[in-house]
Amino acid sequence: MNATAAFAATTADPTYWGQFDAISQYNVHLNIFERLWAAWYAYMQNDVLATGIMSFVMHEVVYFGRSLPWIIIDSIPYFHKYKLQQAKVPTAADQWKCAKLVLFSHFTVELPQIWLFHPMAVYFGMQFGVPFPSLLTMAYQIAIFFVMEDTWHYWFHRAFHWGPLYKYVHKIHHQYSAPFGLAAEYASPIEVMFLGLGTVGSPILWCAVSNGNLHILTMYLWITLRLFQAIDSHSGYDFPWSLHHFLPIWAGAHHHDVHHEKFIGNYASSFRWWDYFLDTESGPEAAKRRRERKITKEAKKTQ
């Protein structure tokens, strides 16, 4: 059943708020957010259009809304003491150049994919209606998506550092050796599609293997958190309250800033374990551990 089937127009008032009032009258068990959601689909009377508009607007609001605080922080000298590469603070011209390419990518690469998302999600059984799933359900599914996407990102990001792929695809993203928040999606369209597939494909795969046990609201929350993570990891700032200080497996800006500075290693997105276990960590601390392991190994040989 599509999202609007249970909430077809029941009022002579065809406006959005007319639909909201009608749904509120006959569905008192729904909370305010569920009524607003159902009214949107009932008002649009076209699930593909309703999901497409909502998805694109959500992505733009979250991406630029989360980038804005970092743009402000970059313009305030007080915060520069927390900058990982203090000599490389982006200028207003850098920010504007980056914003133009990101917007171009959003409208030419991501928008068509977003428009095709609803039919694909319906095919795999994703839920769009109300009521919403419980917070516990959404929380454990999002945790699974973080692990799945991190694995996808590690291997494909590492592949993009292979000679020809780096030269013709990934090099665009590395134009800024000192990244900043807005540059999280400053990349080749090919890279945007392949790495973005990990973000969108993980929930789709889960939906397929769980027989439709996934609501698009969970996916929206997951994408919001993933965008926050991507933008924050490109911010270039490491504060005393940054998450990796309290959660050692978390990557964050400290982990990814070294990747941009050294152009190699630290390939994972959210967590550190793939780089740790596969010995692809970058930076002075990782180099020190490698030297210590080498000394220990040589010492054992001479015994």
224-270 pLDDT, tens digit each: 999 999 999 999 999 999 999 999 999 999 999 999 998 889 999 99
pLDDT at residue number 97: 93
pLDDT at residue number 245: 94
Residue type, position 235, single letter: S
Q: What angle do CA 272, 275, 281 make, to 5 degrees?
A: 100
Residue type, position 112, single letter: P
Please give the full DSSP string across 10-73, using - where no structure is assigned: -SS--SHHHHHHHHHHH-TTS-HHHHHHHHHHHHH--HHHHHHHHHHHHHHHHHHHHHHHHHHH
Same domain, 28 and 92: no
For 85, 115, 159, the CA distances from 232, given in Å and listed in that order, are: 15, 27, 23
Say whether the peptide bond before residue 131 is cis (omega within 30 degrees of 0).
yes
Same domain, 114 and 152: yes
The owner of tokens 């990982």 is 84
Q: What is the pLDDT of residues 189-236, one digit of tens each?
A: 999 999 999 999 999 999 999 999 999 999 999 999 999 999 999 999
Same domain, 168 and 260: yes
Low-confidence ranges of the chain (pLDDT < 50): 1-2, 4-6, 9
Same domain, 30 and 75: no
27: containing domain: 1-45
| Those residues with Cβ within 8 angstroms of residue 76's Cβ, 6 or more apart along the chain or in another chain | none
pLDDT at residue number 5: 43
Same domain, 13 and 162: no
Same domain, 197 and 110: yes
DSSP state of 162: S
Same domain, 74 and 14: no
Same domain, 211 and 105: yes
Cα 179 to Cα 37: distance, rounded to the nearest angstrom: 37
Same domain, 154 and 137: yes
Same domain, 232 and 135: yes
Q: Which of left, alpha, beta for 34 (phi over 0: left; psi -120 to 50: alpha)?
A: alpha
The owner of tokens 């933008």 is 231
Q: Is 229 exposed, middle or buried (0-12, 13-18, 19+ CB in 10 A)?
A: buried
Cα 142 to Cα 102: distance, rounded to the nearest angstrom: 26
pLDDT at residue number 109: 87
Collapsing DSSP to helix, strand or coil, 265 comes out as: coil
Same domain, 142 and 242: yes
CB 282 within 8 A of CB 259: yes
pLDDT at residue number 44: 94
Collapsing DSSP to helix, strand or coil, 119 comes out as: helix
Tokens of 218: 């969970």
CB 192 within 8 A of CB 185: yes
Same domain, 226 and 290: yes
Looking at the structure of the chain, the number of domains it has is: 2
